[in-house]
Amino acid sequence: MSEPFDAVDVIRAKRDGHRLTDAQLDWIIDAYVRGVVAEEQMAALAMAILFNGMREDELARWTAAMIASGERLDLSCAGRPTADKHSTGGVGDKITLPLAPLVAACGVAVPQLSGRGLGHTGGTLDKLESIPGWRASLSAAEFMTQLREVGAVVCAAGPGLAPADRKLYALRDVTGTVESIPLIASSIMSKKIAEGSASLVLDVKVGTGAFMKTVPDARRLAETMVALGTAHGVRTVALLTDMSTPLGRTAGNALEVAESLEVLGGGGPADVVELTLVLAREMLADVGDADPADALTDGRAMDVWRAMIRAQGGDPLAPLPLARERHVLTAPVAGVLTRLDAYAVGVAAWRLGAGRARQQDRVSAAAGVVLLAKPGEAVRVGQPLLELHTEDESRFARALDALADGYDISVSEVRATDIRVPDPGLTPPRLIIDRIG
């Protein structure tokens, strides 16, 4: 059977700045999944989109075609409202771990399909896999049963969800087209819309440790994703949040699980608690005015966490992996720590074994970085700043190289005895930068 369009004509149209028709958009995605459109042809189209962009209605249709390439989940079995959260990724961003059980404890079901880390940003599934016995892959029946009975699921997406995105994501990574905002937005939103949640909260990171380095770029991405969600009938809001300093006090898989347990137990770093509660309130906006902070202090969120981990084969009470080798980086001078770069810490954690360079690489559950000081805190000469964890001591040298220019200590402050020492859980300035939607 002959095809209704020629891929070269579609590429030329976008190359020359034209809006692709709905029929062209539907066909090119479907033909790509079927193998009729070759990888090099889709690569050329992706580059044309990178240079020329897409109109709002054009992008909505492109995203709809990506959704239609697979299944769209029906979450009516949950028996209660559903809400999901997506973060664009950062360093120390363990928010999904306390957030999902917290929101479920307050009456909203959370179907969280998560991913793995790549490069300097951590992956939620990698973190959870540091819990003995926990498994990321669930059958459709297991997913629905857990959502109904526990109220929260954090797992890997199945192969039937937006398969067009799976192919295109891998292609963009090797063709220099990752930076296209329309392609980023459609990649994220096609999966999240297909997931079937009634509402979605987006945590769009901005800063040195984020994919989006500037507020204007982050805002453009957030506005594009909110428009896509709204166009597809999903109540969508986005928060722009700071990722110039690592979130919390840890970067690494088991280390971040341990810190999340502190939050679920009513403690934890102030910035992690703040962002968890802000996102929880957004996800609970349609179900009354219950304060999610109460569910952290009274143990309800922890109860859901334990049920969620057990449902996926994990032992929530088992000890977490500990690194065999540790190295402490100390302050070379006295003063105030004024900068601790999220990207530098993320690269250090990656080099210690907590991250991967390729999707097929294995990660170390125990590797990572513990932040013993945060910006705004006074430090003495020789005071520990960072503690590096790894299974292989030969990794320390390259991790330390990554951190060499990753922090600043101001020695021009007043005498150390006069410096006000903030709370160790100091929240970074402007953690919540903006709200869109």
Which residue in the list 187, 190, 260, 364 is annotated as catalytic? 187
Residue 349 and residue 255: Cα distance in Å, rounded?
11
Which residue in the list 167, 172, 219, 300 is annotated as catalytic? 172
Residue 133 and residue 123: Cα distance in Å, rounded?
18
Locate 395 and state its tokens: 């990794």
Name 111's bridge partners: 153
* Beta carbons of 128 and 154 less than 8 angstroms apart: yes
Does residue 294 carry a catalytic annotation? no
Q: What is the DSSP string of 310-344?
A: HHTT--TTSPPP--SEEEEEE-SS-EEEEEE-HHH
Which residue in the list 14, 61, 85, 86 is annotated as catalytic? 86
Neighbour order of strands in the sheet with 325-330? 250-252, 368-371, 384-390, 325-330
| Three-state DSSP state, 235 | strand
Does residue 172 carry a catalytic annotation? yes
Does residue 423 carry a catalytic annotation? no
Which residue in the list 165, 242, 271, 341 is annotated as catalytic? 165
Torsion of CA 136, 139, 141, 144, to 10 degrees: 30
Alpha carbon distance, N-terminus to C-terminus of the chain: 45
Strands 83-87 and 199-206: parallel
Residue 133 and residue 309: Cα distance in Å, rounded?
9
Which residue in the list 127, 167, 191, 389 is annotated as catalytic? 191
Does residue 389 carry a catalytic annotation? no
Backbone CA torsion sign across 398, 172, 360, 158: positive
119 Ramachandran zone, left/alpha/beta (phi>0; psi -120 to 50): left
Does residue 120 carry a catalytic annotation? no
Residue 37 and residue 26: Cα distance in Å, rounded?
13
- Nearest to residue 184, comparing CAs of 71, 84, 89, 70? 89
List active site positions. Answer: 86, 165, 172, 187, 191
